[in-house]
Structure 1
């Protein structure tokens, strides 16, 4: 049986493997992170590891898993250590990250999450739980009372199980114990993510105690962030390669591209690690960077996910290897860039070219089907917001209409061959019942999906030119198949 990665095996790892530049056991915890998935391990945990190596401090991370026990079972026997495989154009490198101290599985230990969140040393609580886990209605800036976790935690606020309920109860207890509040740092890929979580947290607290909600408004910081790193889901191949490179097994290994970016609003009243030592950028306003990334990187990612998956391209790199699809990506990037305000130090043409290279990286196996999930959560900020901007400013609407048509075609749940697949969307059942009533006509499908509550901006949904473009493109996809539709769309005359 192969030996597991752990504190006792660090010294014996091959010299080619990068190890923590500090003694992890000598550093205390200052951060609690909710949602320690692959992205957190490949992104914030790595920046924290670099900050600890350069500047020290008690900034290690205690992780909380709200539902699954798998990551706790993977990390805890390894003393929190895990391997990051960075896949660049020049090959692969391995780095062992030591910033995580332990994982708490809330499903097994219901009291431990609140104990960690109310510990005096906890100064930052960061989150990567995906938008759907918060239970916040973005349009209203308030909680969604029908969300299962929200409803359960409002009914039993002293025994919370969801992300917002947990943070509210932890802040209540800290206030009761006269402990300074922690900074809430959302690292999910959402516009104005700090403002979104603040609105949800304040609204949740107001349902319990309006005075407490006022205290949160006055005393708790919610800096916004922009995060970027392509992080495919780990596979058996990931674990096998790590074992070959390290000589030990690692059940928590992750892989990512060599590029990483983290832009952070610098507002941390209780202090923070020197993440800039790992390359993070601290700014007064994250919004312009956020818009660039969401509209260019994430928007083109969503477009190629739907178009690529439906045309048989398993990975993003396969999309980029097809000149027809690559041309559509270029068109989307150009249209998205045209919706952005100038950003000091950023050339959007250079950024677009860098994205094309990143997408084409042959070493990154990022599945189009993985990116396609949660479309109703992603579409508004990635595609619909820039489409509305283009509508207002006489911009190029067609690339956004193509992306929406591809999403609508994806919502039908069947490939051109007739093979079914799951949408993996929080509104999957609603979409299915809506389309069942609409029938198979392109206009009926487009109208039905456009009418989903809270998804399309009213002005866009009512625009005849926009609706005509979406319907025509969707009709081509349905009648001619995705391959022919893609060829037609990529022609210069389209």
Structure 2
């Protein structure tokens, strides 16, 4: 490489004032919220202090670059490189004093989060009781969980008299705003019940729907950025041209001029994205991996997988209240995005955390269809593919409940395994024999096809 940093670009004539905090310094944030901020008309007025979730890897890579990095938009016609400069400071998760310091600054108006579904789970009376005890003893104690860090920040902001702040979750989580509010207030109540009234008066919880396919960074991308850009970047981010951000939130202290869609209720957009995009991603991941595919593009070009995706969309669309023409256009965009030869979105990455993702991506459609008296063949196939995936393990299972799931999947009888696994998602559905028959049939057919292909 020519240089260990981006310094030869001579960018960053001025560091932007820090008015926002972000937790979760991964690729999606840098392709989405950070990019939206960098491209805003008033970008010079809004800088981020961004913190790693747990691992210090990303802050370690970005700090020598001054927080700057290259966003590589991979279109069918070629790549577009843009140096993003909205990160004015980057920090490791362990830098608790810096975290609290930003909360104490009245100029900081917004906290955005990309902490994945698992980050919103908190048990202040159980697994996180030690954090609660630490904050009771010392409100400035360092804690590790995302929700605990937010509560510590709010304690510091109240003590500093720094005024109101917006908490804006940006994860693929149904009702992410109310979900974050519930997690924060439940945790805060255990630490200091008097904080609840201050939160009600000073904290705004927004809701969002976010969308932009963002694969993992590879050594090949690092080398390609150096070749095309003529500079070295240790942390470039690949992404697709399509992006969407729908926000329902008031911003009492202002916000960047984001090119987003602002609405009163994100729910219809959320349903469409979670069910049509994320649900089909899960379908392609589990069915595709069992059939020997590696990427989303590989799977969507397989007529078998493409056909099931279309059938899944037909079932899910019955429960989306946005107009039919808009939904049809959205489906067309999804096919274009999946077939993009420049995006390598690995199915193994999408297969992660199925026990959590399926709750919002697939289960609502299954339950709505069953309530309507229908047997949703495609929706049940997705669950069957998940069962078969856990039983066959074409790639390592990465899930917060991986050990438990793999043990249940290994039960000698497929029907028993399927019932036990479905019960992890929804106990009532596991008692629905007609639905379970569809799930078992789908899993059995996929396992037989995989076994036959291996001979």
TM-score (norm 1): 0.87
Deviating above 6 A after TM superposition, structure 1's stretches of 4 or more consecutive aligned residues are none
8 Å contact kept, 2:28–2:214: yes
Instruction: Tell me, in whole angstroms, the C-alpha distance in 1 between the residues paired with 2:451 and 2:273.
Output: 27
8 Å contact kept, 1:387–1:397: yes
Q: CA deviation at 1:378?
A: 0.3
What is the CA deviation profile of residues 196-229 of structure 1, one whole-angstrom value per residue up to 9, with x for unaligned ones? Answer: 0100000001112222123213321111000000
Partner of residue 37, structure 1: 26
Q: CA deviation at 1:135?
A: 2.1
Partner SS for 2:111: strand
What is the CA deviation profile of residues 39-92 of structure 1, one whole-angstrom value per residue up to 9, with x for unaligned ones? Answer: 0011111000011xx124531111111322221121111111100111112221
Partner SS for 2:73: strand
Partner of residue 487, structure 1: none
Partner SS for 2:187: helix
2:443 aligns with one of 470, 474, 489 = 474
2:299 aligns with one of 319, 322, 331 = 319
Partner of residue 89, structure 2: 102
Q: CA deviation at 1:254?
A: 0.5
1:120 aligns with one of 79, 103, 106 = 106
1:16-31 alignment runs, 5 A limit: 25-31=14-20
Q: CA deviation at 1:480?
A: 4.1
Partner of residue 50, structure 1: 39
Partner of residue 318, structure 2: 338
Instruction: Tell me, in whole angstroms, the C-alpha distance in 2 between the residues paired with 1:457 and 1:121.
Output: 47
Partner of residue 340, structure 2: 361
Partner of residue 391, structure 1: 370
Structure 2: give runs of 5+ residues left out of the alignment: none
1:10-409 alignment runs, 5 A limit: 10=10, 25-51=14-40, 54-56=41-43, 58-107=45-94, 109-136=95-122, 143=123, 145-147=125-127, 150-157=128-135, 158=139, 159=141, 160-276=143-259, 280-341=260-321, 343=322, 347-395=326-374, 397-409=376-388
Instruction: Tell me, in whole angstroms, the C-alpha distance in 1 between the residues paired with 2:396 and 2:90.
Output: 31
Partner SS for 2:172: coil
8 Å contact kept, 1:174–1:180: yes
Partner SS for 1:275: coil
Partner SS for 1:31: strand
Instruction: Tell me, in whole angstroms, the C-alpha distance in 1 between the residues paired with 2:452 and 2:4.
Output: 46
Go from structure 1 to structure 2 and tell me whether the alpha carbon gap of 1:457 and 1:281 turns closer, same or farther (over 3 Å shift). Answer: farther
Structure 1: give runs of 5+ residues left out of the alignment: 12-22, 137-142, 416-420, 485-494
What is the CA deviation profile of residues 130-185 of structure 1, one whole-angstrom value per residue up to 9, with x for unaligned ones? Answer: 1112324xxxxxx46444xx333213123222211111111112111211132101
Q: CA deviation at 1:360?
A: 1.1
8 Å contact kept, 1:171–1:181: no
Deviates more, 1:263-272 or 1:42-51: 263-272
8 Å contact kept, 1:307–1:482: no
Instruction: Tell me, in whole angstroms, the C-alpha distance in 2 between the residues paired with 1:336 and 1:224.
Output: 22
8 Å contact kept, 1:374–1:424: yes
Partner of residue 490, structure 1: none
Partner of residue 432, structure 2: 463
Instruction: Tell me, in whole angstroms, the C-alpha distance in 1 between the residues paired with 2:325 and 2:120.
Output: 32
TM-score (norm 2): 0.94
Q: CA deviation at 1:26?
A: 4.9
8 Å contact kept, 1:184–1:221: yes
Instruction: Tell me, in whole angstroms, the C-alpha distance in 2 between the residues paired with 1:447 and 1:146.
Output: 28
Q: CA deviation at 1:412?
A: 1.9
Instruction: Tell me, in whole angstroms, the C-alpha distance in 1 between the residues paired with 2:90 and 2:252.
Output: 26
